[in-house]
Chain A
Amino acid sequence: MELTPTQKKRYNRHLILDGFGKEGQQRLLQSKVLIVGAGGLGSPVSLYLAAAGVGTIGLVDGDQVSLTNLQRQVIHTTPDVGRPKVDSAEEKLKAINPDINIVKHEIYLSEDNALDIIHPYDFVIDGTDNFATKYLVNDACVMLGKSFCMGGINRYAGQVMTHRPGTACYRCLFPEPPAISEVETCAMVGVLGSIAGMLGTVQATEAIKCLIGVGEPLFNALLTFDALTMNWQRFEFPKNEGCALCGKHPTITRLKEYAFQPCSKKK
Protein backbone atom coordinates (compact mmCIF):
# COMPACT_ATOMS: atom_id res chain seq x y z
CA MET A 1 0.00 0.00 0.00
CA GLU A 2 1.59 3.23 -1.20
CA LEU A 3 0.94 6.44 0.70
CA THR A 4 -1.07 9.02 -1.24
CA PRO A 5 0.35 12.55 -1.64
CA THR A 6 -2.10 13.75 1.05
CA GLN A 7 -0.98 11.02 3.42
CA LYS A 8 2.67 11.88 2.78
CA LYS A 9 1.87 15.40 3.91
CA ARG A 10 -0.37 14.46 6.82
CA TYR A 11 2.11 11.99 8.29
CA ASN A 12 5.26 13.90 7.33
CA ARG A 13 6.54 14.21 10.92
CA HIS A 14 6.29 10.44 11.32
CA LEU A 15 7.85 9.76 7.91
CA ILE A 16 10.97 11.76 8.76
CA LEU A 17 11.20 10.32 12.28
CA ASP A 18 14.11 7.94 12.91
CA GLY A 19 12.81 4.42 13.52
CA PHE A 20 9.32 5.27 12.18
CA GLY A 21 9.36 6.20 8.49
CA LYS A 22 7.18 4.97 5.68
CA GLU A 23 7.16 1.37 6.91
CA GLY A 24 6.00 2.40 10.38
CA GLN A 25 3.25 4.60 8.96
CA GLN A 26 2.07 1.88 6.60
CA ARG A 27 1.95 -0.53 9.49
CA LEU A 28 -0.15 1.91 11.56
CA LEU A 29 -2.54 2.46 8.67
CA GLN A 30 -3.09 -1.29 8.47
CA SER A 31 -3.47 -1.74 12.25
CA LYS A 32 -6.63 -2.29 14.24
CA VAL A 33 -6.80 -1.04 17.81
CA LEU A 34 -9.71 -1.59 20.17
CA ILE A 35 -10.27 1.00 22.88
CA VAL A 36 -12.42 -0.27 25.74
CA GLY A 37 -14.02 2.76 27.38
CA ALA A 38 -14.48 6.10 25.60
CA GLY A 39 -13.97 8.09 28.80
CA GLY A 40 -11.07 9.73 30.60
CA LEU A 41 -8.35 7.48 29.19
CA GLY A 42 -10.16 6.56 26.00
CA SER A 43 -10.43 10.24 25.02
CA PRO A 44 -6.70 11.04 24.70
CA VAL A 45 -5.87 7.54 23.47
CA SER A 46 -8.39 7.69 20.64
CA LEU A 47 -7.57 11.29 19.70
CA TYR A 48 -3.86 10.53 19.36
CA LEU A 49 -4.29 7.18 17.65
CA ALA A 50 -6.68 8.73 15.15
CA ALA A 51 -4.27 11.58 14.47
CA ALA A 52 -1.40 9.09 14.12
CA GLY A 53 -3.28 7.20 11.43
CA VAL A 54 -4.16 3.92 13.11
CA GLY A 55 -6.27 2.49 10.28
CA THR A 56 -9.09 0.99 12.31
CA ILE A 57 -10.11 2.17 15.76
CA GLY A 58 -12.79 0.22 17.60
CA LEU A 59 -14.60 1.92 20.47
CA VAL A 60 -16.48 -0.06 23.12
CA ASP A 61 -18.74 1.90 25.44
CA GLY A 62 -22.41 1.52 26.28
CA ASP A 63 -22.58 4.81 28.17
CA GLN A 64 -23.89 8.26 27.28
CA VAL A 65 -22.03 11.51 27.83
CA SER A 66 -22.91 13.18 31.11
CA LEU A 67 -22.00 16.58 32.52
CA THR A 68 -19.63 15.10 35.14
CA ASN A 69 -17.63 13.43 32.33
CA LEU A 70 -16.58 16.72 30.74
CA GLN A 71 -14.00 17.62 33.42
CA ARG A 72 -11.64 14.99 31.96
CA GLN A 73 -13.18 13.20 28.98
CA VAL A 74 -11.92 15.74 26.46
CA ILE A 75 -13.25 14.06 23.33
CA HIS A 76 -16.79 14.96 24.43
CA THR A 77 -18.19 18.49 24.46
CA THR A 78 -21.05 20.22 26.23
CA PRO A 79 -23.52 19.80 23.36
CA ASP A 80 -22.76 16.05 23.43
CA VAL A 81 -24.36 15.52 26.86
CA GLY A 82 -26.91 12.72 26.53
CA ARG A 83 -25.43 11.31 23.30
CA PRO A 84 -23.89 7.84 23.16
CA LYS A 85 -20.17 8.20 23.86
CA VAL A 86 -19.25 6.14 20.81
CA ASP A 87 -21.21 8.53 18.53
CA SER A 88 -19.69 11.62 20.10
CA ALA A 89 -16.18 10.16 19.87
CA GLU A 90 -16.60 8.94 16.31
CA GLU A 91 -17.55 12.41 15.12
CA LYS A 92 -14.38 14.01 16.57
CA LEU A 93 -12.09 11.23 15.39
CA LYS A 94 -13.40 11.39 11.83
CA ALA A 95 -12.98 15.17 11.82
CA ILE A 96 -9.35 14.75 12.91
CA ASN A 97 -8.58 12.09 10.34
CA PRO A 98 -10.95 11.00 7.56
CA ASP A 99 -8.41 8.30 6.56
CA ILE A 100 -9.38 6.02 9.39
CA ASN A 101 -12.18 3.58 9.94
CA ILE A 102 -14.13 3.78 13.22
CA VAL A 103 -15.98 0.72 14.46
CA LYS A 104 -18.54 1.47 17.15
CA HIS A 105 -19.51 -1.11 19.75
CA GLU A 106 -22.27 0.62 21.71
CA ILE A 107 -22.34 -1.95 24.46
CA TYR A 108 -20.50 -2.74 27.68
CA LEU A 109 -17.82 -5.39 27.39
CA SER A 110 -19.01 -8.54 29.15
CA GLU A 111 -17.99 -12.16 29.50
CA ASP A 112 -20.52 -12.97 26.78
CA ASN A 113 -19.20 -10.61 24.10
CA ALA A 114 -15.54 -9.92 25.02
CA LEU A 115 -13.87 -12.65 22.96
CA ASP A 116 -15.89 -11.87 19.83
CA ILE A 117 -15.38 -8.12 20.11
CA ILE A 118 -11.63 -8.30 20.81
CA HIS A 119 -10.82 -11.05 18.32
CA PRO A 120 -10.37 -8.98 15.11
CA TYR A 121 -8.03 -6.42 16.68
CA ASP A 122 -4.22 -6.25 16.84
CA PHE A 123 -3.96 -4.30 20.08
CA VAL A 124 -6.32 -3.43 22.93
CA ILE A 125 -6.37 -0.40 25.19
CA ASP A 126 -8.03 -0.72 28.56
CA GLY A 127 -9.53 2.62 29.50
CA THR A 128 -12.27 1.26 31.74
CA ASP A 129 -13.33 2.63 35.08
CA ASN A 130 -13.86 -0.54 37.10
CA PHE A 131 -11.92 -3.62 38.16
CA ALA A 132 -14.43 -6.11 36.77
CA THR A 133 -13.89 -4.91 33.21
CA LYS A 134 -10.11 -4.51 33.67
CA TYR A 135 -9.83 -8.18 34.66
CA LEU A 136 -12.17 -9.11 31.84
CA VAL A 137 -9.97 -7.26 29.30
CA ASN A 138 -6.85 -8.86 30.78
CA ASP A 139 -8.28 -12.38 30.79
CA ALA A 140 -9.85 -12.18 27.33
CA CYS A 141 -6.68 -10.73 25.78
CA VAL A 142 -4.45 -13.39 27.35
CA MET A 143 -6.81 -16.14 26.17
CA LEU A 144 -6.83 -14.71 22.64
CA GLY A 145 -3.09 -14.00 22.58
CA LYS A 146 -3.62 -10.25 22.11
CA SER A 147 -1.31 -7.45 23.20
CA PHE A 148 -2.80 -4.73 25.37
CA CYS A 149 -2.03 -1.72 27.51
CA MET A 150 -3.80 -1.45 30.85
CA GLY A 151 -4.17 1.88 32.64
CA GLY A 152 -5.68 3.03 35.91
CA ILE A 153 -6.04 6.44 37.54
CA ASN A 154 -7.49 7.84 40.71
CA ARG A 155 -7.04 10.98 42.82
CA TYR A 156 -3.68 12.38 41.63
CA ALA A 157 -2.00 9.13 40.60
CA GLY A 158 -1.83 6.73 37.69
CA GLN A 159 -0.38 3.37 36.73
CA VAL A 160 0.12 1.62 33.41
CA MET A 161 1.51 -1.65 32.06
CA THR A 162 1.75 -3.27 28.63
CA HIS A 163 1.40 -6.94 27.76
CA ARG A 164 2.22 -9.05 24.77
CA PRO A 165 1.86 -12.82 24.67
CA GLY A 166 4.53 -14.39 26.86
CA THR A 167 5.02 -11.41 29.17
CA ALA A 168 3.46 -10.74 32.57
CA CYS A 169 -0.27 -10.06 32.67
CA TYR A 170 -2.24 -7.87 35.08
CA ARG A 171 -2.99 -10.91 37.25
CA CYS A 172 0.76 -11.61 37.61
CA LEU A 173 0.88 -8.32 39.51
CA PHE A 174 -2.56 -8.19 41.08
CA PRO A 175 -3.86 -11.80 41.12
CA GLU A 176 -7.36 -10.71 42.14
CA PRO A 177 -9.26 -7.44 42.34
CA PRO A 178 -9.40 -5.77 45.75
CA ALA A 179 -12.31 -6.51 48.04
CA ILE A 180 -15.27 -4.27 47.22
CA SER A 181 -14.85 -2.44 50.53
CA GLU A 182 -11.31 -1.45 49.50
CA VAL A 183 -12.19 -0.15 46.04
CA GLU A 184 -11.96 3.55 45.45
CA THR A 185 -13.65 4.63 42.24
CA CYS A 186 -13.19 8.07 40.70
CA ALA A 187 -16.83 8.76 41.52
CA MET A 188 -16.02 8.17 45.20
CA VAL A 189 -12.63 9.83 45.67
CA GLY A 190 -12.32 12.07 42.64
CA VAL A 191 -9.63 12.34 40.00
CA LEU A 192 -7.60 15.23 38.68
CA GLY A 193 -8.86 15.58 35.11
CA SER A 194 -5.50 16.29 33.53
CA ILE A 195 -3.96 13.02 34.71
CA ALA A 196 -6.28 11.18 32.35
CA GLY A 197 -4.30 12.95 29.64
CA MET A 198 -0.96 12.06 31.26
CA LEU A 199 -1.80 8.39 31.43
CA GLY A 200 -3.81 8.16 28.20
CA THR A 201 -0.97 9.59 26.12
CA VAL A 202 1.36 6.98 27.65
CA GLN A 203 -1.10 4.29 26.56
CA ALA A 204 -1.36 5.72 23.04
CA THR A 205 2.44 5.83 22.84
CA GLU A 206 2.72 2.23 24.03
CA ALA A 207 0.20 1.11 21.39
CA ILE A 208 2.13 2.87 18.62
CA LYS A 209 5.45 1.43 19.85
CA CYS A 210 4.03 -2.09 19.85
CA LEU A 211 2.37 -1.70 16.45
CA ILE A 212 5.42 -0.39 14.62
CA GLY A 213 7.93 -2.35 16.70
CA VAL A 214 10.07 0.41 18.16
CA GLY A 215 11.55 0.94 21.61
CA GLU A 216 10.89 -0.94 24.82
CA PRO A 217 7.22 -1.05 25.79
CA LEU A 218 6.24 -1.54 29.42
CA PHE A 219 6.43 -5.33 29.21
CA ASN A 220 7.00 -6.96 32.62
CA ALA A 221 6.88 -3.49 34.12
CA LEU A 222 4.48 -1.12 35.84
CA LEU A 223 4.94 2.61 35.36
CA THR A 224 3.42 4.75 38.09
CA PHE A 225 3.22 8.46 38.62
CA ASP A 226 2.16 10.77 41.39
CA ALA A 227 1.13 14.10 39.91
CA LEU A 228 1.55 15.91 43.25
CA THR A 229 5.28 15.22 43.41
CA MET A 230 5.61 14.46 39.68
CA ASN A 231 7.51 11.31 40.60
CA TRP A 232 7.42 8.72 37.82
CA GLN A 233 8.68 5.25 38.71
CA ARG A 234 9.11 2.10 36.67
CA PHE A 235 8.88 -1.19 38.55
CA GLU A 236 10.01 -4.43 37.01
CA PHE A 237 8.04 -7.60 37.64
CA PRO A 238 8.49 -10.96 35.93
CA LYS A 239 5.75 -13.17 34.59
CA ASN A 240 4.44 -15.11 37.57
CA GLU A 241 4.73 -18.84 36.87
CA GLY A 242 2.06 -19.37 39.53
CA CYS A 243 -0.39 -16.96 37.82
CA ALA A 244 -3.90 -18.44 37.73
CA LEU A 245 -4.35 -17.15 34.16
CA CYS A 246 -0.99 -17.28 32.35
CA GLY A 247 1.16 -19.43 34.69
CA LYS A 248 2.27 -23.00 34.28
CA HIS A 249 -0.92 -24.52 35.67
CA PRO A 250 -3.72 -22.04 34.92
CA THR A 251 -6.99 -22.40 36.79
CA ILE A 252 -8.76 -19.63 34.86
CA THR A 253 -9.46 -21.19 31.49
CA ARG A 254 -12.68 -19.47 30.49
CA LEU A 255 -14.24 -16.07 31.13
CA LYS A 256 -16.29 -16.16 34.27
CA GLU A 257 -18.67 -13.80 36.00
CA TYR A 258 -17.04 -10.42 36.44
CA ALA A 259 -20.02 -8.92 38.19
CA PHE A 260 -19.77 -5.45 36.73
CA GLN A 261 -23.05 -3.59 36.94
CA PRO A 262 -22.91 -0.23 35.22
CA CYS A 263 -23.99 2.21 37.92
CA SER A 264 -25.32 5.68 37.41
CA LYS A 265 -23.21 6.97 40.30
CA LYS A 266 -19.97 6.70 38.34
CA LYS A 267 -21.18 9.22 35.78
Chain B
Amino acid sequence: MDININNRKTSITSTNLQELAQEMSLPEKGVAVAINNQMIPRTEWADTPIADGADIVIIKAACGG
Protein backbone atom coordinates (compact mmCIF):
# COMPACT_ATOMS: atom_id res chain seq x y z
CA MET B 1 0.00 0.00 0.00
CA ASP B 2 1.03 3.59 -0.46
CA ILE B 3 1.55 5.90 2.50
CA ASN B 4 3.44 9.13 3.12
CA ILE B 5 6.57 8.84 5.20
CA ASN B 6 8.12 12.17 6.11
CA ASN B 7 6.19 13.78 3.24
CA ARG B 8 7.43 11.25 0.69
CA LYS B 9 5.09 8.79 -0.98
CA THR B 10 6.31 5.30 -0.09
CA SER B 11 5.08 1.81 -0.92
CA ILE B 12 5.14 -0.55 2.04
CA THR B 13 4.11 -4.12 2.78
CA SER B 14 3.73 -3.62 6.57
CA THR B 15 0.25 -3.50 8.07
CA ASN B 16 1.15 -2.12 11.49
CA LEU B 17 3.80 0.19 12.94
CA GLN B 18 5.87 -2.58 14.46
CA GLU B 19 6.25 -4.24 11.06
CA LEU B 20 7.00 -0.88 9.48
CA ALA B 21 9.79 -0.25 12.01
CA GLN B 22 11.33 -3.56 10.94
CA GLU B 23 10.76 -2.88 7.24
CA MET B 24 12.47 0.52 7.61
CA SER B 25 15.19 -0.89 9.91
CA LEU B 26 14.50 1.79 12.54
CA PRO B 27 16.86 1.72 15.52
CA GLU B 28 15.45 0.52 18.81
CA LYS B 29 16.05 3.76 20.67
CA GLY B 30 15.87 7.47 19.94
CA VAL B 31 13.12 7.31 17.33
CA ALA B 32 9.49 8.43 17.62
CA VAL B 33 6.73 7.79 15.12
CA ALA B 34 3.60 9.86 14.52
CA ILE B 35 0.53 8.97 12.49
CA ASN B 36 -1.57 11.93 11.41
CA ASN B 37 0.29 14.24 13.84
CA GLN B 38 -0.30 11.97 16.85
CA MET B 39 2.76 10.35 18.42
CA ILE B 40 2.40 6.62 18.98
CA PRO B 41 4.40 5.16 21.91
CA ARG B 42 6.63 2.27 20.92
CA THR B 43 4.69 -0.04 23.23
CA GLU B 44 1.61 0.48 21.01
CA TRP B 45 3.32 0.02 17.65
CA ALA B 46 2.29 -3.63 17.26
CA ASP B 47 -1.36 -2.70 17.89
CA THR B 48 -1.39 0.29 15.59
CA PRO B 49 -2.61 -0.60 12.09
CA ILE B 50 -1.52 1.49 9.11
CA ALA B 51 -4.25 2.64 6.76
CA ASP B 52 -3.73 3.26 3.06
CA GLY B 53 -2.65 6.89 2.53
CA ALA B 54 -1.62 7.39 6.16
CA ASP B 55 0.69 10.28 6.96
CA ILE B 56 3.55 8.89 8.97
CA VAL B 57 6.39 10.94 10.38
CA ILE B 58 9.52 9.35 11.76
CA ILE B 59 11.42 11.64 14.11
CA LYS B 60 14.94 10.98 15.31
CA ALA B 61 15.95 12.62 18.57
CA ALA B 62 18.36 15.50 17.82
CA CYS B 63 21.08 16.23 20.33
CA GLY B 64 22.77 19.33 18.93
CA GLY B 65 22.69 22.62 20.73
User: Which residue of the partner chain B has the closest CB to A176?
Assistant: B29
A239-258 interface bits toward B, Cβ cutoff 8 Å, 1 = contact, 0 = none? 01010000000000000000
- Which of B27, B28, B39, B65 lies in contact with A128, CB distance below 8 A? B65
Q: Number of B residues contacting the other chain (C-beta, 8 Å)?
A: 22
A159 to B39, CA, bound (A): 14
Q: Which residues of A contact B61 (CB under 8 A)?
A: 131, 152, 159, 174, 177-178
The answer, yes or no, to whether B63 is at the interface (CB within 8 Å) is yes
Q: Does A159 contact B59, Cβ atoms closer than 8 Å?
A: yes
Q: Does B65 contact A129, Cβ atoms closer than 8 Å?
A: yes
The answer, yes or no, to whether A41 is at the interface (CB within 8 Å) is yes
User: Which residue of the partner chain B has the closest CB to A37?
Assistant: B65
Q: Does A153 contact B41, Cβ atoms closer than 8 Å?
A: no
Q: Which of A108-129 contact B (CB under 8 A)?
A: 126-129
The answer, yes or no, to whether B13 is at the interface (CB within 8 Å) is no
User: Which residue of the partner chain B has the closest CB to A153?
Assistant: B64
Q: Does A179 contact B64, Cβ atoms closer than 8 Å?
A: no
A151 to B64, CA, bound (A): 8
Q: Which of B23-65 contact A (CB under 8 A)?
A: 27-32, 34, 37-39, 41-43, 57, 59-65
- Which of B27, B37, B42, B43 lies in contact with A178, CB distance below 8 A? B27
- Which of B32, B43, B65 lies in contact with A152, CB distance below 8 A? B65
Size bracket of the A interface? 35 or more
Q: Does B60 contact A178, Cβ atoms closer than 8 Å?
A: yes
A128 to B63, CA, bound (A): 8
- Which of A40, A127, A179, A234 lies in contact with B28, CB distance below 8 A? A179
- Which of A130, A151, A158, A173 lies in contact with B39, CB distance below 8 A? A173
Q: Does B65 contact A41, Cβ atoms closer than 8 Å?
A: yes
Q: Does B38 contact A235, Cβ atoms closer than 8 Å?
A: yes
A242 to B7, CA, bound (A): 30
Q: Does A174 contact B32, Cβ atoms closer than 8 Å?
A: yes
Given contacts A177-B30, A186-B65, 4 further A-B contacts (CB under 8 A): A42-B65, A152-B64, A196-B65, A237-B39
Residue pairs across A and B with Cβ atoms less than 8 A apart, 6 shown, are A42-B65, A179-B29, A231-B7, A235-B34, A235-B57, A240-B41
B contact set with A: CB distance below 8 Å:
7, 27-32, 34, 37-39, 41-43, 57, 59-65
